[in-house]
């Protein structure tokens, strides 16, 4: 069957008609079984079938309110003359799933892609919220390349505890370290739990969930304002309903994802990510999405397009406020309008208008939350890309979350091989470590973990915390939570488990970090490194079957988005053969 079949009048034939049109056996079966849900015959009269791809799950607390959002989308689709059909895909709860949701992002993308292709869907609304749900949905939909619109779940309300504002992740990490340092009691820490997560929604800091909602909006894949409306605000439900209306129109216009997400819109996303102080996780997700759409994008592009972009959004972990404040201050449309000619404002969006047209009257209501270009939080604060003999294919650091005194630093390596080793030794009283040293963690990359968990923001040794040390340089082939902070070098590629130079670092080696120059160097003689490489044995394969074996056999490195090699590219929606 082909999605490009034309009617006699020359209009594009909806791919759903291949299932529901006609009087043969298959059409009878398809319609008849759908009717057992109370669907009337008139819904099969040729109106667009809209898939509502839902990542609702009670095991994904960020997305647990999605039943209501899906219902609003459904009402919008019906209002516009479409036929809504909701379908579930695997949901990834960052706060619950072990060992890491990144291990399953590609699996969810396959679930999305095959669900769309195998079913009579003409356009799709993607309901995402928690960190990996948004990129997984985008990747799967990109490989099909149908008309696609994103509705994010929205952030939680600000955390409030003992008269102060606390943010998801960022404040939790800080309080956890305070407990380890002995400056906060365990009872006080426990008392903050309910106050931190006090409404439906995803993280209220500029963590990965909020970052990816903003990225989707910057790419042009959402209605304006999507990124910041709080989950419990009635305007989130209105946006969901309006998105249901718009996706029907997009199908009629044949406005596909590939017409919206282009090289120029990806550059916009990189620049917006810099201006909002977004998560380093956006790097691997955008690289993977670009690969699915067959749009050239390299790690070096993040360095190039982050240059000269100021940090405008004063949100944790890079600033003081939270997403609720960001929405009241004007949200992402205000940021895009303030960036102005630093973006490709002529980029197309799902509204049918350009990015610039969408935000031409967007005001800033609080100029401490959303800063003007002339008075930014920081003049340059993007995700820096580092290269050198320790990261031949690159590594990244979030400069807005790093300590200024450590962005140029040479220190002695203190090496840990895997998280079990780290947890066993980091708080040992006799650990040979000083404040100026550099913590190095190996074996936590895509293959080594497997799955590249968010462990790069390593806790500092307890005895140094007790001395008042609040930051150290940390280097690993892992990722870091978007809510985290510190001078943390991540995504070192190639990773240690596949023979990357990180595996060659020994305790006491000197490492040079120079973020302004983009350098990460192991100050060891090349002859010595060659000798170490000769002695280095490959990491044993511990995954012998199942999905994890598929993962380690086919996952790409961080500089290529951590996608599977066989998933790169578009495959369309053509389906050959009938089911009866």
pLDDT digits 0-9 by tens, 19-71: 999 999 999 999 999 999 999 999 999 999 999 999 999 999 999 999 999 99
Q: What is the pLDDT of residue 579?
A: 76
User: Within a domain: residue 437?
Assistant: yes
Question: Whose structure tokens read 């929604």?
Answer: 201
Strands 488-493 and 473-476: parallel
Does some domain include residue 111? Answer: yes
223 within a domain of the structure (yes/no): yes
Q: What is the pLDDT of residues 142-177, one digit of tens each?
A: 999 999 999 999 999 999 988 889 998 888 888 998
pLDDT reported for residue 11: 52
Quote the CA–CA distance of 268 and 207 in Å, as a whole number.
19
Residue 205 near residue 133 (C-beta atoms within 8 A): no
Domain endpoint, select from 301, 326, 358: 358
Same domain, 124 and 258: yes
In terms of domains, do 167 and 204 share one?
no
Answer yes or no: do 473 and 534 share one domain.
yes
Domain span at residue 153 reads 48-157+199-358
Residues 213 and 79 grouped into a single domain? yes
CATH classification at residue 312: 3.40.50.2300
Among 144, 176, 193, the domain boundary falls at 193
Question: Phi, psi (5° rounding) for residue 285?
Answer: -70, -40
Q: Assess whether 169 and 293 both reside in one domain.
A: no
Task: Kindly state whether residue 5 falls inside one of the protein's structural domains.
Answer: no
Residue 124 β-bridge partners = 51, 148
Contact 511, 440 (CB under 8 A): yes
Residue 434 lies in a domain: yes
What is the sign, positive or negative, of the torsion defined by CA atoms of 61, 382, 445, 460?
A: negative
- Counting residues of the chain whose pLDDT is more than 90, the rounded percentage is 88
Low-confidence residues in the chain, pLDDT < 50? 1-10
296, 261 Cβ separation under 8 angstroms = no
Decide if 330 is inside a domain. Answer: yes
341 in the same domain as 411: no
Q: Do residue 331 and residue 407 come from a single domain? A: no
The 10 Å Cβ neighbour count of residue 6 is 10
Which neighbouring-strand residues pair with 416?
441
Q: What is the largest CA-CA distance in the chain?
A: 81
pLDDT of residue 6: 40
Shared domain check, 285 and 220: yes
What does the alpha-carbon distance between residue 393 and residue 121 come to, in Å, rounded to a whole number?
40
pTM above 0.75, yes or no: yes
What are 409's strand-pairing partners? 513
- Indicate whether 143 and 257 sit together in one domain: yes
Q: What is the pLDDT of residues 292-334, one digit of tens each?
A: 999 999 999 999 999 889 999 999 999 999 999 999 999 999 9
Residues 431 and 330 in one domain: no
For residues 344 and 478, membership in a common domain is answered with: no
432-451 b/e with 16+ CB inside 10 Å = b? ebeeebbbbbbbbbbbbbbb
Q: Is residue 515 part of a domain?
A: yes
**pLDDT, position 3:** 40
Number of folded domains in the chain? 3
24 in a structural domain: no
**Single residue among 173, 193, 213 that ends a domain in this structure:** 193
| Residue from 118, 86, 113, 112 nearest 18 by CA | 118
Cα–Cα nearest to 278, from 482, 515, 94: 482
Q: If you ran DSSP here, which 8-state letter would residue 498 be given?
A: G
Specify whether 98 is located in the same domain as 171.
no
pLDDT at 20: 97
């Amino acid at each position: 069957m082909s999605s490009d079949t034309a009617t006699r009048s020359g209009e594009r034939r909806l791919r759903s008609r291949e299932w529901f049109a006609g009087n043969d056996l298959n059409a009878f079966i398809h319609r008849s079984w759908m009717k057992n849900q109370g669907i009337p015959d008139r819904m099969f009269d040729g109106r667009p079938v809209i898939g509502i791809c839902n990542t609702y799950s009670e095991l994904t607390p960020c997305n647990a309110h999605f039943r209501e959002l899906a219902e609003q989308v459904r009402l919008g689709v019906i209002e516009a003359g479409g036929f809504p059909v909701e379908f579930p895909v695997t949901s990834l709860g960052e706060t619950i799933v072990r060992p890491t949701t990144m291990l399953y992002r590609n699996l969810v993308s396959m679930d999305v892609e095959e669900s769309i292709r195998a079913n009579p869907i003409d356009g799709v609304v993607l309901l995402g919220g928690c960190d990996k749900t948004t990129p997984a949905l985008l990747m799967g939909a990109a490989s099909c390349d149908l008309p696609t619109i994103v509705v994010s779940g929205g952030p939680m309300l600000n955390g409030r505890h003992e008269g102060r504002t606390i943010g998801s992740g960022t404040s939790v990490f800080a309080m956890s370290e305070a407990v380890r340092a002995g400056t906060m009691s365990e009872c006080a820490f426990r008392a903050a739990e309910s106050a931190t997560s006090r409404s439906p929604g995803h993280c209220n800091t500029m963590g990965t969930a909020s970052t990816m909602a903003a990225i989707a909006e910057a790419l042009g894949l959402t209605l304006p304002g999507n990124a910041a409306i709080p989950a419990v605000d009635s305007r989130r439900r209105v946006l969901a309903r309006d998105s249901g209306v718009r996706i029907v129109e997009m199908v009629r216009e044949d406005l596909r994802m590939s017409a919206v997400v282009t090289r120029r819109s990806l550059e916009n996303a990189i620049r917006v990510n810099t201006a909002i102080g977004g998560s380093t996780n956006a790097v691997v997700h955008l690289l993977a999405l670009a690969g699915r759409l067959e749009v050239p994008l390299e790690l070096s592009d993040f360095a190039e397009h982050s240059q000269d972009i100021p940090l405008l959004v004063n949100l944790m972990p890079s600033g003081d406020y939270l997403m609720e404040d960001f929405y009241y201050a004007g949200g992402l449309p205000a940021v895009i309008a303030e960036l102005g000619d630093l973006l490709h404002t002529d980029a197309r969006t799902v509204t049918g208008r350009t990015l610039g047209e969408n935000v031409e009257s967007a005001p800033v209501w609080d100029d401490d939350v959303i800063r003007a270009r002339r008075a930014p939080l920081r003049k340059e604060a993007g995700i820096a890309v580092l290269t050198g003999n320790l990261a031949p294919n690159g590594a990244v650091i979030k400069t807005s979350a790093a300590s200024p005194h450590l962005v140029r630093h040479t220190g002695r390596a203190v090496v840990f091989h895997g998280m079990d080793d780290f947890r066993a030794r980091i708080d040992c009283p006799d650990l040979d470590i000083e404040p100026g040293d550099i913590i190095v963690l190996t074996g936590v990359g895509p293959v080594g973990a497997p799955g590249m968990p968010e462990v790069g923001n390593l806790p500092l040794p307890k005895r140094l915390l007790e001395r008042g040390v609040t930051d150290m340089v940390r280097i690993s082939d892992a990722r870091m939570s978007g809510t985290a902070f510190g001078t943390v070098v991540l995504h070192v590629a190639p990773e240690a488990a596949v023979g990357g130079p990180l595996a060659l670092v020994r305790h006491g080696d000197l490492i040079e970090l120079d973020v302004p120059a983009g350098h990460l160097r192991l100050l060891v003689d090349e002859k010595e490194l060659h000798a170490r490489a000769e002695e280095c044995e490959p990491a044993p394969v511990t995954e012998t079957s199942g999905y994890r074996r598929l993962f380690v056999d086919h996952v790409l490195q961080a500089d290529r988005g951590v996608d599977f090699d066989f998933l790169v590219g578009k495959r369309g929606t053509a389906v050959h053969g009938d089911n009866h």
